Every structure is written in C-alpha cells, then in structure tokens.
Amino acid sequence: MLQLMTLDEWAAAKYRSNPPSTDTLRRYAKQNMFSPPATKHGRFWRVREDAEITGNIAAPIIKKTDSPLLQRILADGCQTP
C-alpha cells in the first residue's frame, strides 16, 4: 500500500541533493502540479510516495471572441451561473 508523505519527506526521498524548497513544493501542491494530486491534511500538504511533479499539463486558452458561456466554463468549469 502506498503511503502519504509530507512534502519534505517526499523531497528527501526523491532527490539525492538540492531538493526544491518547501515553499516551492507548497506552491506546486496549490497549483495542482503533482500527479497524483497532493492533498491537504490539516496544516500539511501530503503526496503519495510515487507522486511526480508534472507541471501544468493543460490549461485552456480563453479568447475574448469565445462565447460568454464557453468563457465561463473554461474559467471555472461551471456550466450555469
């Protein structure tokens, strides 16, 4: 069974030297840049031990010429107000 680890524990296990700072890892967690995603448990972000940093895989491009309904869906995923 895969264990959940704090970001510092995960970085220590993944990187032999010069791991990303805790602030950077927190920012990645907030921006959903881990796969599988990090989850917040109380005050701490936790990731599975097999998690990887993927970056922003796909972000929709919202054009001003798109219909207002499409803009709203792309912005927050909400179909109706």
CATH number, domain containing residue 3: 1.10.1660.20
Q: Whole-model pTM above 0.85?
A: no
Instruction: Please report the pLDDT score of residue 79 as a whole number.
Output: 57
Domain assignment of residue 43, given as a range: 1-81
pLDDT band for 72, please (50, 70, 90 cuts). confident
Tens of pLDDT along 40-58?
Answer: 999 999 999 999 998 766 6
Report the domain count for the chain: 1
12 within 8 A of 19, measured Cβ to Cβ: yes
Range 61-70 contact pairs with CB under 8 angstroms and sequence separation of 24 or more? none
The residue among 60 and 81 whose pLDDT is bigger is 60
